[in-house]
Amino acid sequence: MSSVPSTSAVPQHVLPSYLQADHLGPWGNYLKQVDRVTPYLGHLSRWVETLKRPKRILIVDVPIEMDNGTIAHFEGYRVQHNLSRGPGKGGVRFHQDVTLSEVMALSAWMSVKNAAVNVPYGGAKGGIRVDPKKLSRAELERMTRRYTSEIGLIIGPTKDIPAPDVNTNGQIMAWMMDTYSMNTGSTATGVVTGKPVDLGGSLGRNEATGRGVFTVGVEAAQHLGLKIEGARVAVQGFGNVGGTAGRLFADAGARVVAVQDHTGTLYQEAGMDVPALQAHVQQTGGVAGFAGAEVLAHEAFWGVPCDILIPAALESQITADNADQIQARLIIEGANGPTTPEADDILHDKGVLILPDVIANAGGVTVSYFEWVQDFSSFFWSEEEINARLVRIMKEAFAGIWQVAQEHQVSLRTATFIVACTRILHAREMRGLYP
For strand 56-65 and strand 71-82, is the pairing parallel, antiparallel, or unpaired?
antiparallel
Q: Given the complex with ligand GLU, which of 91 and 356 has the nearer CB atom?
A: 91
For the CB of residue 361, give the shortest distance to ligand GLU in the complex, in Å. Answer: 6
Q: In this structure, what DSSP letter does residue 285 have? A: S
Residue 195 binds to ligand GLU (criterion: CB under 6 A): no
- Does 167 interact with ligand GLU (rule: CB under 6 A)? no
Nearest-angstrom CA–CA distance, 183 and 431: 32
Pick the closest to residue 347 from 388, 378, 381, 309 (CA basis).
Answer: 309
The distance of closest approach from Cβ of residue 165 to ligand GLU in the complex, given in angstroms and rounded to an integer, is 4
| Residue 64: CA count within 13 A, CB half-sphere | 26
Contacting range for ligand GLU; rule: CB under 6 A; set: 20-28, 59-67, 145-153, 360-368: 360-368
Whole-angstrom distance, CA of residue 222 vs CA of residue 226? 6
**Least Å distance between CB 123 and ligand GLU?**
9
The reply to whether omega before 435 is within 30° of 0 (cis) is yes
Residue of the chain from 83, 365, 410, 419 that contacts ligand GLU (CB under 6 A): 365
Q: Please say which residue, 336 or 374, places its beta carbon nearer to ligand GLU.
A: 336
State how far the Cα of 255 lies from the Cα of 233, in Å rounded to an integer: 6
Between 167 and 368, CB nearer to ligand GLU: 368
Contact 312, 245 (CB under 8 A): yes
The H or E element containing residue 415 is: helix 412-431
Site string for ligand GLU, 75-94 (x = CB under 6 A): --------------xxx---
Query: What's the min distance (Å) between Cβ of 5 and ligand GLU?
Result: 45
> Cα(227)–Cα(47) distance, rounded to whole angstroms?
42
- Output 215 or 336, the one with its CB closest to ligand GLU: 336
Residue selected from 111, 236, 361, 387 as contacting ligand GLU according to rule CB under 6 A: 361
Between residues 127 and 264, which has the closer beta carbon with respect to ligand GLU? 127
Neighbours of 381 (CB within 10 A): 18
# residues near ligand GLU by CB under 6 A: 11
Report how far residue 106's alpha carbon sits from residue 88's, in angstroms, rounded to the nearest whole number.
12
Q: Is 420 in the site for ligand GLU (CB under 6 A)?
A: no
Catalytically active residues, by annotation: 125
Q: What is the dihedral of CA 257, 261, 264, 266, to 10 degrees?
A: 0
Q: Does 193 bind ligand GLU (CB under 6 A)?
A: yes
Query: 267: part of which helix (H) or strand (E)?
Result: strand 264-267
Stretch of 282-290, 337-345, 357-365, 402-410 lying at the interface with ligand GLU (CB under 6 A): 357-365
165 binds ligand GLU (CB under 6 A): yes
Footprint on residues 333-352 left by ligand GLU (CB under 6 A): 336
Residue number with the smallest Cβ distance to ligand GLU: 91
CB 402 within 8 Å of CB 412? yes
Please state at what angle helix 25-37 crosses helix 412-431, rounded to 10 degrees.
80
Write down the least CB distance from residue 13 to ligand GLU, Å: 29
Q: Are 74 and 129 in contact (CB under 8 A)?
A: yes
> Which residue lies nearer to ligand GLU by CB, 126 or 264?
126
Inter-residue contact 421 to 51 (CB < 8 Å): yes
Name the nearest CA neighbour of 124 among 386, 349, 365: 365
> Residue 76 CB, nearest distance to ligand GLU (Å)?
16
The answer to whether residue 101 forms part of the interface with ligand GLU (CB under 6 A) is no
Considering beta carbons, is residue 47 or 398 the nearer one to ligand GLU? Answer: 398
Give the nearest distance from C-beta 184 to ligand GLU in angstroms: 20
Q: Catalog residues that contact ligand GLU under the rule CB under 6 A.
A: 89-91, 163, 165, 193, 336, 361, 364-365, 368
